[in-house]
Amino acid sequence: MSVIISLLNHKGGVGKTTSAINIGAGLAKLDKKVLLVDLDPQANLTVSLGIPRQKITIYENMRGEAEITPYTVKDNLDVVTSTLDLSGAEMELINEAGREFIMRELFEPLEHEYDFIIIDCPPSLGLLTLNALTASNYVYIPMQTEFLALQGLAKIKQITDKVRFRLNKKLHIGGVIATMYDARKVLNRDVVDTIKKYFGDRVFKTMIRNNISLAEAPSVRKDIFEYNPRSSGAKDYLALSKEIVERVDNAGKMAGAKKK
């Protein structure tokens, strides 16, 4: 069964798409079969990996015009691409029966093909994000270590709790990813301390350090491991990927123990 993870933060510029790409690539390096889903109408994930325009994108999938047709980027890493047309999907699907469950149904034929399905959510809390949360096991919150990034965390938790109560009992906040971190800055350290007070051990131990290679990699249409495997960005995202695998494995063992 696939572990489905939504990367969500309705504040832009926090490293959400960068994290989606490089967690996916990191998990692929660890021999996990990964499907990345670009659910953002801006299609930044699709563009960042240099994927040409596809005839079938997540837009056609959500409209029920075609089944999911992943694009293979490299071994163990496939992508469901996006398009600007997706920006109209929320209005087009507003009267659709069971509209919150469209993505869950789309993933059902794939749940034994991939170890991880990672959804890059749009920077909003509309119907597209609601679909992602209804289909997911976990929400990961990438968060820039700046003061303004703290605003809105309570809203994300509130939305997650509502979806779990009404639509998806298996959904949990699985972790908070501190991004653009500089240990020399008192503000960055203080923000991380504040996040830890709010989310406790759900904050990942691995923090993604400020690294110019992470900003440069999309311009050459590569993930960080292809662009600069010796960079701190590559080291951090590989360490984070290992931590994610460990958490998921531990959660699976705990669930198995409870069933016994």
Overall average pLDDT of the 183-194 stretch? 92
CATH T-level fold of 3-259: Rossmann fold (3.40.50)
In the predicted structure, residue 19 carries a pLDDT above the cut 70:
yes
Does residue 236 come out as left (phi exceeding 0), alpha (psi in the -120 to 50 range) or beta? alpha
Tokens of 180: 């653009």
Domain spans of the chain? 3-259
Kind plus residue range of the DSSP H or E element containing 21: helix 16-29
Per DSSP, 96 falls in state -
Q: By the 8 A CB rule, do 91 and 85 touch?
A: no
In the predicted structure, residue 252 carries a pLDDT above the cut 80:
no
Which residue(s) pair with 140 in the sheet?
7, 175
Give pLDDT tens digits for 129-153: 999 999 999 999 999 888 877 777 8
pTM score over 0.85? yes
pLDDT of the residue at 96: 87
* Residue predicted with more confidence, 90 or 241: 241
pLDDT of the residue at 4: 98
Does residue 152 come out as left (phi exceeding 0), alpha (psi in the -120 to 50 range) or beta? left
- Please state, in angstroms and rounded to a whole number, the distance separating the CA atoms of residues 108 and 221: 30
In the predicted structure, residue 258 carries a pLDDT above the cut 70:
no
